[in-house]
Every structure is written in C-alpha cells, then in structure tokens.
Structure 1
Amino acid sequence: MRKLLIPVVIVLIGVLFSSLYVVEEGTRGIVLRFNKIIGLSDPGLHFKIPGVDNVKVIDAKIQTTDSSNNSGREQKFITREKKDLIVDYYVQWKIVDFDRYYETVAGGNSVENLLLARLNGRLRAEIGKLDIKDIINDTNADTKSRNSLMVRVKDALNGTQQSTANIKDVPVEDLVAVAETDPESITSMLAFGVEVIDVRIKQINFPPEVSESIYARMSAEREVVARDQRFQGIREAEETRADATLAATKILSEAEKQARTIQGEGDANAAKLYADAFNKDREFFSFIRSLKAYEKSFKETDVMVISPDSEFFRYMKLNVNSAESNKK
C-alpha cells in the first residue's frame, strides 16, 4: 500500500505544480484552451488545467517605439510648400484589449509595424498641411504648430469609441490588410487592442542635398554680414584716425601758437633790453654789435669782398689807429 501511495503523491504534486502559474507585475496572462482564448489573468498566482490550458504572458506596460524601427530607413515627409523633411519621432503605446492584441499577433502580424505604418501615413497627411515654420513652431495655443500636429496624429490613430466599437466586429486579418495597403486609412489602433499614449517629434532635419544648399545660403548670408561688419570696422577706424589726426593737429597748432607767442614776447623783451641799452650808451652798443658781426662774419674759409672804406670796418679802423698811436 505504501509503495502505491508514494507514486500517487508524486503524481498529485506534479499535477498541482503543473496546474499553477504566476503572472508577474506589469504583465497579463492570456489563457488559451485548445488555442481559443478563455480568460485573462491579472498579476498573481493562478490555476489552469494541465495539458489542456496554455498561458501566454504579454507585457502590459507602456511601450515606446522609435522611428528607427522602420528598417533603419529615413522617413521623408513633404510640407505644404513642397519642402522635403526628415522627421525623427517616437510613439508610446499600451495594450488595452489583450484578446484583440493576441488575435493580431497570433496571426503573424507585428503591431509595431502596423502602428508605424499608420503613424507614418498620418504624419505625412498632417505635415503636408503645414509649412516648415509651422512645424518648427512648438506652441500649444496655435493650431498650426508641432504640438497640435502631434495631438491630431494621436487622436487619429486612436479614432473614436463609436468607430472602434463597430470595427471590432471586422476580422483582424481584414483590418490588417486595409492598414497595410492604405496607411492613411481611418483604421483605429484600438481595433488591434492598442491605444496610443503619446506621439513626439524628436528631431527635424533636411535631406543632405537640401542641407548643403541651406548651409551654402547661410554661409553666404553670414559672409555678407561679416563683410558689412568689416566695412563698419574700417569706417569707424578711419573716423577714429581722422578724429585723432584732427585733435593732434589742433594740439600742435595750439602749441605752435603758444610757442610763437612766447617767442614773440621773448624777442620783444630782448629788443626792449637792447633798446634800453642802446639808449644808455649808443656808441658802446654799436661797438658790441660790430664785434659780434665780426665774430660771425670772419671764418677760416670765408672770403669777403668789401671796400676798406665801408662803414662795416669803422670800429676795426679805430682799433688799428689806436694800435699805431700806441707804437709811436
């Protein structure tokens, strides 16, 4: 009896453990019976029928999909003014209908690819209505702005509750076919069990060929500004030099004027002194002046042709006559 009890206990323990399963926090468990959905398990410990029921665990947290998931290809969009733009964006979404989501992925479809296809289509339609300056504008109040564009895209991806309720009656494969053939269709992502939480544009660039022309134009504009600044600097430098030259000329003129005034006053004082001395002893003054004239006139290499009877030699003759008188 004991020999039979032990295998039975082991089997029961095995059945018990195989019938238990745990759903971790942040996930949900879809219970399948013969590949048909019979229930949804919240986080915690649950039971199932071993060998009959199967549980698929699905991530229930908010997920983020980046535009780089588009097979690594750049997404080009055309604005209303026919300008090409490369838009880098991301979208946040979560599963709200796990049954519908499982039906979608169970058929071999990728919800992320469907979401990106729909998002690209809506972005292309919305960007085509705006100019570049409107897309760059990030205000919330203006309907022609990047923020309002993202809100419209998110609302378009989610659709209305009425349209979603009606579209849930349509088989998933038919909805997938419509979404793949017409990315700009009004098919709501809620029809695939997914709700879009947020859409954000991270970066807006121009294609390389457009960027080069823009950079060339910007460089030319900066060159014009730089040239104007250089010309402005040259003009201010010339004006500064002219002002400095004018100020220097005024200073030199004033200094020369003062020097001439002082020199004139000195000459006048000297003339007055000479005149006073001359008035006191005119003969002595004439004699001194003659001596200075002799001193300046007679040099070693100078030759003078003057008549001996000239008045210039008057005092010299007197000196000669006085010397002869002294000899006698």
Structure 2
Amino acid sequence: MKRILPIIIILLLLTPSFIFTVDERQQAIITELGEFKRAILEPGLHFKKPFVEKITRFEKRMLSTDAPPGQYLTLDKKRLVVDFLARWRIKDPLIFFKSVRNMFAANTRIEDIVYSELREELATHNINEVIAENRELIMDKVKEGSSAKLKEYGIELIDVRIKRADLPTEVQQSVFERMIAERQRISKRYRSEGEEESAKIRARTNKEKDIIIATSYAKSEKIKGEGDKIATQIYSDSYSKDPDFYEFWRKLEAYEKIIDENSVIFLPIDSYLFNLLKKQY
C-alpha cells in the first residue's frame, strides 16, 4: 500500500498534463512544439501528450467588436462621425490561430476591414441616406464585403450595425443654427398662411352675417307690414260695424294709458271724460 500511494499521487499531479476538458462555450487546438496537430471542436474530456502538446482555447460564443468613432466622407461631401458594432465568431480556430492568434489582434483586424468597407460604401451615398433612408441596406453591403475578407482569418462576421452617426463637433453648431433658421422660416410661412386664411374666414363670416341680418330684417319688416295691414283691416271692420262703440273703446284705451291711481287731472266740464265720470257718480 505504501508503494502504491506515491504512484497515485504522481498520477494525480500529472493528470492535468495529459487530460483536459473543453466546455460547450469553447473550442481549442493542440500544437506540438508550435506545430498544429488537431482541433478540438466538441466539448468534453480529451487527452494530449504530456509536456509536449499544448492546448490553446478560443471562444465558441458570439463575440462583439465595438469600434471607436471615425470620420467618413459622404457622396455630397459631408463629414460624418460614425461608430459601428460588429458581431462575429471564430469559425476556424486553426486559421484564426495562424493569422491573428489572439483577441486583441482579431478586434484590430475587424476594425480595419469594416472601417475600410464602410468608408467606401458611405462615399457612394448622400448624408440623408446614411442617417435615415438606406442605413440598413448600406450596412448589409458593408457586412457582405467585410465577411469575404474576414474568412481569411477564420472569422465569421454575423452582423455589422451603426451605433451612432453624427456630425463632427466643430460643425455641429453651424448646422444646428441653419436648422433653427430653416425651422423659423417654415414656421413664419405657416403663420403667414394661417393669418391669411383666418382673414379670409373672418371676411366670409362677416359677409354671411350681414346677409343673414339683412335678410332677417327684410323678413321682419315684411311680417310687421302684413301684421299692421291685418290690424288696420280689423280696426276698419270693427269701426264700420259700430262707429260709436269703436270711438268709445279707443278713448277708454287712451285714458287707461295716461291715467293711473295717483294721477290728478283737471278737466273742463264739457269734456267727454268729465261727463262720463259725472254719470258714474
């Protein structure tokens, strides 16, 4: 037992030198004295020659490269500050290891290639197309051109998107001032058109009001005339039937209008009202 224990301890110490694991997030290559031997693409437990073979692990998951902002010139000679985001993965670990070897070099190579493709593509479009109209189509073309070049480095480019497209800082203020002036000009035009339309509406309304008032007045005068005519006819008919009664009734109406409870009147003794009151009392 004492002889077996040291052997077990030695085996345990040597195990990492010839047994290793690759999880589902990784892929690896085995090199012997710097020379490629094989690629490990499947997760699990694997073996290698102790002390001679070396394992180099790479990410199997999707990776991203967030490029710093760069200046580009558009077709209409406008400068844009653009920063892009590239999504990619290591497709062939051997080619990746031989060409770029590590993540820093891979990110640098991706930035250079995508920057070049993006510069060439933006030079064929106006600024408004880049900002609003054809951005997705532009980036699809950039992805297509960059993917072909990155295959040489064992990299699969999944997607490229513009994070931000803006004007250079030194020209932003002048552009903003032009935009403000343009908006003010448009707002003045709208206000002028609105005031003109308002004046037309008020004039049309006033005209319609005057027409309505004049028409109503004419109708009212016509109705009054017809009413006066009818009243006159009634009075005439009543008078012709009994002139004495009609005269008496008209006088009573007149007296009712001019005399109330507090009235003090002086009447000559030959007046009709005096004689009427005299008969009453």
Q: 8 Å contact 2:31–2:38 — kept in the other structure?
A: yes
SS at the partner of 1:190?
helix
Amino acid at match of 1:111: A
Task: Quote the Cα distance in structure 1 between the aligned partners of 2:21 and 2:59.
Answer: 14
Compared CA separation, residues 271 and 102, structure 1 to 2 (3 A):
closer
Task: Quote the Cα distance in structure 1 between the aligned partners of 2:19 and 2:271.
Answer: 157
Compared CA separation, residues 220 and 246, structure 1 to 2 (3 A):
same
C-alpha displacement of 1:317: 11
Amino-acid identity (%): 29
State whether structure 2 residue 185 is matched by structure 1 residue 227: no
Runs of 5+ unmatched residues, structure 1: 68-72, 139-144, 160-187, 290-314, 320-328
CA RMSD of aligned residues (A): 4.2
SS at the partner of 2:61?
coil
Residue of structure 1 in register with 2:122 after alignment: 127
Deviations 1:15-35 (A, max 9, x none): 345421001113112223334
Runs of 5+ unmatched residues, structure 2: 251-267, 273-281
SS at the partner of 2:85?
strand
Deviations 1:178-207 (A, max 9, x none): xxxxxxxxxx33333323233233443223
Q: 8 Å contact 2:100–2:153 — kept in the other structure?
A: no
Amino acid at match of 2:40: S
Residue of structure 2 in register with 1:57 after alignment: 57
Residue of structure 2 in register with 1:196 after alignment: 157
Q: Work out which of the residue numbers 198, 207, 223 in structure 2 matches 1:237.
A: 198
Q: Work out which of the residue numbers 106, 110, 116 in structure 1 matches 2:105.
A: 110
Task: Quote the Cα distance in structure 2 between the aligned partners of 1:276 and 1:61.
Answer: 115
State whether structure 2 residue 13 is matched by structure 1 residue 14: yes
Task: Quote the Cα distance in structure 1 between the aligned partners of 2:151 and 2:192.
Answer: 64
Compared CA separation, residues 95 and 262, structure 1 to 2 (3 A):
closer
SS at the partner of 1:110?
helix
Q: 8 Å contact 2:19–2:48 — kept in the other structure?
A: yes
Q: Number of residue pairs matched?
A: 262
Compared CA separation, residues 274 and 85, structure 1 to 2 (3 A):
same
Task: Quote the Cα distance in structure 1 between the aligned partners of 2:241 and 2:11.
Answer: 158
Task: Quote the Cα distance in structure 2 between the aligned partners of 1:154 and 1:276.
Answer: 107
Task: Quote the Cα distance in structure 1 between the aligned partners of 2:213 and 2:90.
Answer: 91
State whether structure 2 residue 142 is matched by structure 1 residue 153: yes
Residue of structure 2 in register with 1:251 after alignment: 212
